[in-house]
Amino acid sequence: MEDSEILDQRPCFHSPEPEATRRYGEGLARVWREMNAPGPGGLVVSLRGDLGAGKTVFVKGLARGLGIDESLVSSPTFVLANQYASPGEGLSLHHVDFYRLESPDELESMGFFDLIAPRAILAVEWGPKFPGELPSDRLELELEADGGSRLLRAEARGPEAARILAGWSASLAE
């Protein structure tokens, strides 16, 4: 049915509290690790949502899912980009925030394009600001405040992102 196809492609998750948002991120990172064994191809997650929507909280969850200490993850608003190595498996989390960038011309000099790497998750806060600079195969995640809770809407752009999103959705339904 047409409707359910659209729902499949754009699943919506409800998060009643920050810990739930972290667990969504954790689950996505775990699924990415598991679905790509033995060697993950990179995953790019573009995060959209107002200030305070929970983008950085979600990225802390991604860190947790890669075995990285989530307390190390802070907003890269001022430093532009952070990189965290996952212990053991040679995976890493790269975290960028486009919020303070004025032009996509700044991306080259900050080394942004090197952060799109085969064994890394690249999370980009305010990714939709420069959508043309992101790989076409990526996951788009929108966070929307709904009173005290949050709605997360996920959308795959491209076949690899669709595969990971399907796995993530399935894991959440378990």
Side chain identity at residue 52, one-letter code: G
Q: Considering the rule CB under 6 A, would residue 83 count as an interface residue with ligand ADP?
A: no
Binding mask 125-154 for Mg ion (x = CB under 5 A): x-----------------------------
How is residue 116 written in tokens? 């799109």
Return the number of other C-beta atoms located less than 10 Å from residue 35's C-beta. Answer: 17
d(CA 160, CA 144) in angstroms, rounded, equals: 25
Q: Considering the rule CB under 6 A, would residue 51 count as an interface residue with ligand ADP?
A: yes
Binding segment (CB under 6 A) for ligand ADP, from list 15-23, 26-34, 109-117, 131-139: 15-23
Q: Nearest approach, Cβ of 6 to ligand ADP (angstroms)?
A: 25
Among 22, 55, 64, 150, contact with Mg ion (rule: CB under 5 A): 55
Q: Considering the rule CB under 5 A, would residue 60 count as an interface residue with Mg ion?
A: no
Q: Considering the rule CB under 5 A, would residue 21 count as an interface residue with Mg ion?
A: no
SS3 label, residue 142 = strand
- φ/ψ region of 126 (left if φ > 0, alpha if ψ in -120 to 50, else beta) reads left
Q: Nearest approach, Cβ of 59 to Mg ion (angstroms)?
A: 8
N-terminal to C-terminal alpha carbon distance within the chain: 23
Q: Considering the rule CB under 6 A, would residue 49 count as an interface residue with ligand ADP?
A: yes
CA distances (Å), origin 102, targets 73, 96, 106, 129: 23, 14, 8, 10
Chain residues binding Mg ion by CB under 5 A are: 55-56, 75, 125
Chain residues binding ligand ADP by CB under 6 A are: 15, 17-18, 20-21, 49, 51-57, 75, 125, 148-150
